Amino acid sequence: VAAVGEKGLRIGDLARAAGTTPRTVRYYEELGLLKPSAERAAGAHRTYTEDDVERLRHIIRLKGLLGVSLEELGELLEAEEASAARRAEYRAGATPARKRAILEEALGYIDRQLALVDRRAAELDGLRRELDERRARVRDLLEDPADA
Amino acid sequence: VAAVGEKGLRIGDLARAAGTTPRTVRYYEELGLLKPSAERAAGAHRTYTEDDVERLRHIIRLKGLLGVSLEELGELLEAEEASAARRAEYRAGATPARKRAILEEALGYIDRQLALVDRRAAELDGLRRELDERRARVRDLLEDPADA
DNA sequence: TTGCTCCTCACGTCACGTGAGGTGGC
DNA sequence: TTGCTCCTCACGTCACGTGAGGTGGC
């Protein structure tokens, strides 16, 4: 039911597809996290592509899962873009030494994100264990009501 | 190095022990999430116990991991307290039918929290898989630089 | 033409951060 | 007595929510 005509997506379509609101999209644009695909005259409608949907989903997921400020998130996204740029350089053909340097930088960047993810996962797992334990105790009492 | 004298912890000790700030503690008090242990005259210092440290840590962890508003979190904490009250009733001796009802309510409450935790964990795992995949691709290229 | 969504201010809100000015306990 | 931490306003900030008033595309 989304409008996907020749002109691309409108801000409401983008927001719905990513599970957010037009206001948030404009705010992210203001902070430089997300730009409309096409140039637009002052006051004209913003248009977006499916790639923008992916990027916005990516932003929202990182924000929710990593719990960083939008400014830090902007730096992270810049690092991602730099990484993509280096991949293009890589594919365009670089010297073996340069290729190696590019790959190692990419590895470091991925490992930093993984460290953030792992820390969160460990915290979540700690909470899960606690809840599991409590659940097991309650279940035991329900199945075998033999206590003081 | 924390002051743990006769009078209990001061707000700064509590905040440090829980990894937050005095301002946050006062704000949570304002919202009714956390009260100083002892009564206090207007303008007098707030005092806390080790139990308050545990409660504050609990609040902070739930907030960070479940991503809920402080109002929702307040409801969740009330449910926890009600559960604790029912456990006291349980131990004080209730009829078998009443005991069963108490346990089943506790189970429902635990399962609701588990559902929230599991949703977050699944999202985190999705991101982790993506990062792992990218990492593996980069590693392969580093170990065997044979491509176009 | 009628709705609907879009546009740009701009003020409100939630969860605090950050001084301003003053009082209280080792 | 000297620092340090505490106290209560109260304004600032970040990440948006929510109208206010107006314009643009099926």
CB within 8 Å: A117 and B131: yes
For B88-130, the pLDDT digits (tens) are: 888 888 888 999 999 998 898 889 888 888 888 888 898 899 8
The pLDDT, as a whole number, for residue B72 is 93
The pLDDT, as a whole number, for residue A145 is 67
User: What confidence category does residue A6 fall into, taking pLDDT thresholds of 50, 70 and 90?
Assistant: low
For A97-112, the pLDDT digits (tens) are: 998 999 998 898 889 8
CB within 8 Å: A123 and B99: no
For B130-140, the pLDDT digits (tens) are: 899 999 999 99
Element containing residue B125 per DSSP (H, E) = helix B96-143
What is the DSSP-derived secondary structure letter of residue B40? Answer: -
Tell whether the model's pLDDT for residue B148 goes beyond 70.
no
User: What confidence category does residue A71 fall into, taking pLDDT thresholds of 50, 70 and 90?
Assistant: very high
d(CA A29, CA A52): 12
B89 to each of A134, B6, B78, B83, how far by Cα in Å?
Answer: 17, 32, 16, 10
B122 to chain A, any CB pair closer than 8 A? The answer is: no
Tell whether the model's pLDDT for residue A113 goes beyond 80.
yes
Q: What angle do CA B59, B61, B66 make, to 5 degrees?
A: 95
A25 to each of A7, A19, A36, A80, B94, how far by Cα in Å?
Answer: 18, 11, 10, 20, 55
Please report, in angstroms and rounded to a whole number, the separation of the first and last CA atoms in chain A.
61
Per DSSP, the three-state class of B48 is: strand
B115 to chain A, any CB pair closer than 8 A? The answer is: no
- Please identify residues in chain A, positions 46-85, with a C-beta within 7 angstroms of any atom of strand D: 63, 69-71
Per DSSP, the three-state class of A96 is: helix
The pLDDT, as a whole number, for residue B6 is 64
CB within 8 Å: A135 and B100: no
Q: Which residues pair with B9 in a beta bridge?
A: B48
CB B43 under 7 Å to nucleic chain D: yes
User: What confidence category does residue A34 fall into, taking pLDDT thresholds of 50, 70 and 90?
Assistant: very high
Per DSSP, the three-state class of A145 is: coil
Tell whether the model's pLDDT for residue B4 goes beyond 50.
no
Residues of A in contact with B61 (CB under 8 A): 123, 127
Closest-CA residue in chain B for A101?
B142
Provide the token pair at A86: 């280096």
Element containing residue B116 per DSSP (H, E) = helix B96-143
* A20 phi/psi in degrees, rounded to 5: -140, -160
CB within 8 Å: B107 and A139: yes
- Please identify residues in chain A, positions 2-21, with a C-beta within 7 angstroms of any atom of strand D: 5, 7, 20-21
Tell whether the model's pLDDT for residue B7 goes beyond 70.
yes
Q: Is the pTM of this model over 0.75?
A: yes
Tell whether the model's pLDDT for residue A20 goes beyond 50.
yes
User: What confidence category does residue B1 fall into, taking pLDDT thresholds of 50, 70 and 90?
Assistant: very low
The pLDDT, as a whole number, for residue B146 is 65
Residue with token string 């293009």: A88
The pLDDT, as a whole number, for residue A147 is 55
d(CA A92, CA B110): 54
CB B112 under 7 Å to nucleic chain D: no
**CA at B127, C1' at C10: how many angstroms apart?**
38
Segment B51-65 mean pLDDT = 93
CB within 8 Å: A65 and B124: yes
Lowest mean pLDDT among A57-71, B4-18, B65-79: B4-18
Tell whether the model's pLDDT for residue A68 goes beyond 80.
yes
* Length of chain B, in residues: 148
Question: Contact, A64 vs B123, CB < 8 A?
Answer: yes
Question: Contact, B9 vs B48, CB < 8 A?
Answer: yes
B38 to each of A39, A130, B15, how far by Cα in Å?
Answer: 62, 29, 17
